Amino acid sequence: MKEKTKEQLLQEIESLQNQIARLKKEDTTETKQAQVALEDSENRFRTLFEYAPDPYYLSDLKGTFIDGNIAAEKIIGYKKEELIGKNFLKLKLLPPNQLAKAVAEIAKNVLGKATSPKEFQLIRKDGKKVQVEIATFPIKIKGKFQALGIARDITARKAAEKKEKSLTADLRFLSESAMKFVELPPEEDIFKVIGQQLSYLANNSYIIVSSFHPEDNTIEIKIITRIKKRIKEILKILGRDPVGMRLKLDTQTAKERVMQGRLVEVKGGLYELAFNKISKKICTALEKAFGVKAIYSMGFVKENKLFGTAVIIPKKSFNLPSKTAIEAFIYQASVALHKWHAEKKVATSLKEKDVLLREIHHRVKNNLQIISSLLRLQSRNIKDNSLQEIFQVSQQRIRSIALIHESLYRSDDLSQINISKYLHNLTSHLSSIHAADAKGIRFKISADNIFLDINRAIPCGLLLNELITNALKYAFPKETEGEIKIDLKRYKQNKLRLSIADNGIGFPQGLDFRKTESLGLQLVNSLISQLNGTIKMQQTKGTKYTLVF
């Protein structure tokens, strides 16, 4: 192998040096380009981080702040310089009850896990509180793991949710209250119900519900809530139980206040609330004892009529919760009171008419008995037996009508009588009158629980009187035993079927009961026409009349 000359070696070394220099130059350029690209990327990230609309922050895995953006400064009220290098625990950014939750989120980052958005309440530098959602992500920067936190202000959203929830609860309450008023039994105390409902709406307040008496222009205290445990204290200051007190509403200013139809603050305190009828000294003592700071009042007003007042005295603050809902409920209660008073008035009127109608029936019955007695007295002077019998029959007919009025007088419903009870009373009465003829005669009554109004009861009573009397007098000869069956049932198409049957000697052959000269049977035919009914007679082992009306 031929050895290279010195010149050749020098040329090769020079060539290698040139290649190395060229390579170094190329490497330096690429490195610089990479550095420039990295710096450019960092600048873009810094710009995005700094001006992001949501608060961004960096912290180590112990909760010490490393960096934060402009939005983070705004939401928390601290400058970046005040946060960097400080731990969130020392800064007291969270209330004590949320620290455990924050530590649990950091622990997930330590394990390399991201956290989903969690709600926190941050305490700003100025002491104000703000609701946020925070999500965190573990990232590696310059070989070190850090936590990137992204926050979002949800204060407005939470306030809207709270407002919507409150509104929904108020609407549900008003709906349930409306149903409660609709379903309220007449005997239940409406003022107590109003007090209970208001107590629910203003659950940290004393509630006073009063009624208005227009006859003497006074307000009567009906209900005061939450004073049971302090009644002795009230008795000592006031000298009496406030429930039941009546206060004269005799000033124009007081009338205007209660008639406004909205909740107003009573600036003059208990003294103004009591229409200046309780001394200022006593009112001041009560206000001091109960820590009264504010009083709100509204009248129960409907169609420009006052039915009472509602008073709300918050226990601890000037703020009254759900003012709109309270006003809506008081108006709802005003409508209920208007209806309650109207129904009470109607009920009183009906009661008066009921008493009057009972008195009328009682007097008619008494008058009919007087007429019957007069006929009996008059008949004593009559020697003619046939005339005496006419008087006696007339007495029985009058008595049958009197029994109708007596039944109505004793009935719970003055518009109708129980015809079954009437049947038993009538047969008992007729048996006693015809005792001589009815010694061995038994009555068998079968009747549905049927009620008849007076327009049908009187002709029906007279019909029964005539047909039962005929059976007692003529169906059974002297000292003959027998049975009279009376059957009253409901029939098709809202009709009634009445049958009176005896097992006596039967109706005389060849005699048409529709054309008889007997006044009693003529009366029967006339009465069945009044009832728009039909009558037929059967003669099988006695006589049976069947009436349908």
pTM of the model: 0.55
Q: How far apart are CA 102 and CA 119, in angstroms?
A: 10
Look at residue 476 in the predicted model and tell me its pLDDT: 77
Instruction: Give, in order, the Cα–Cα distances in Å from 274 to each of 95, 218, 246, 258.
Output: 45, 11, 10, 12
Name, in order, each residue with C-beta under 8 angstroms of 222's C-beta and a sequence gap of 6 or more.
Answer: 189, 191, 192, 195, 209, 210, 211, 243, 308
> With contact defined as beta carbons under 8 Å apart, do 269 and 283 qualify?
yes
State CA 488 to chain mean position distance: 45
Residue among 55, 75, 57 nearest 130 (CA):
75
Q: State the fold for domain 55-153.
A: Beta-Lactamase (3.30.450)
270-276: average pLDDT: 90
Task: State the DSSP code for 96.
Answer: G
Class at the top of the CATH hierarchy for domain 184-321:
alpha beta
- Residue with the larger pLDDT of the pair 442 and 517: 442
The chain-wide mean pLDDT, for the chain, equals 80
State CA 246 to chain mean position distance: 29
For residue 315, what are its two tokens? Answer: 């226990």
**Domain 356-548 in CATH 3.30.565.10:** yes
Q: How far apart are CA 95 and CA 508, in angstroms?
A: 110
For residue 161, what are its two tokens? Answer: 């949710």
- Name the region of 526 (left: φ>0; alpha: ψ -120 to 50; beta: rest): alpha
- Residue with the larger pLDDT of the pair 351 and 492: 492
> With contact defined as beta carbons under 8 Å apart, do 56 and 71 qualify?
yes
Q: Is 396 helix (H, G, I), strand (E, B) or coil?
A: helix
State CA 95 to chain mean position distance: 41
Dihedral (CA of 497, 500, 506, 507) sign: negative
Q: How far apart are CA 503 and CA 326, in angstroms?
A: 77
Instruction: Give, in order, the Cα–Cα distances in Å from 217 to each of 170, 245, 248, 299.
Output: 34, 13, 6, 14
For residue 123, what are its two tokens? Answer: 């305490």
> With contact defined as beta carbons under 8 Å apart, do 312 and 320 qualify?
yes
| Domain 55-153 matches domain 356-548 at the CATH topology level | no
Look at residue 246 in the predicted model and tell me its pLDDT: 92
* pLDDT, tens digit (0-9, with 9 covering 90-100), for 93-122: 899 998 889 889 889 988 889 999 999 999
In angstroms, how far is the first alpha carbon of the chain from the final one?
153
Look at residue 538 in the predicted model and tell me its pLDDT: 80
* pLDDT, tens digit (0-9, with 9 covering 90-100), for 128-174: 999 999 999 998 887 788 888 899 999 888 888 888 888 888 888 88
Q: How far apart are CA 296 and CA 307, in angstroms?
A: 17
Any idea where the domains of the chain sit in the sequence? 1-51, 55-153, 184-321, 356-548
> With contact defined as beta carbons under 8 Å apart, do 445 and 424 qualify?
yes
For residue 436, what are its two tokens? Answer: 């001589």
- Residue with the larger pLDDT of the pair 263 and 406: 263
* pLDDT, tens digit (0-9, with 9 covering 90-100), for 528-540: 788 788 888 887 7
Q: How far apart are CA 149 and CA 118, in angstroms?
A: 11
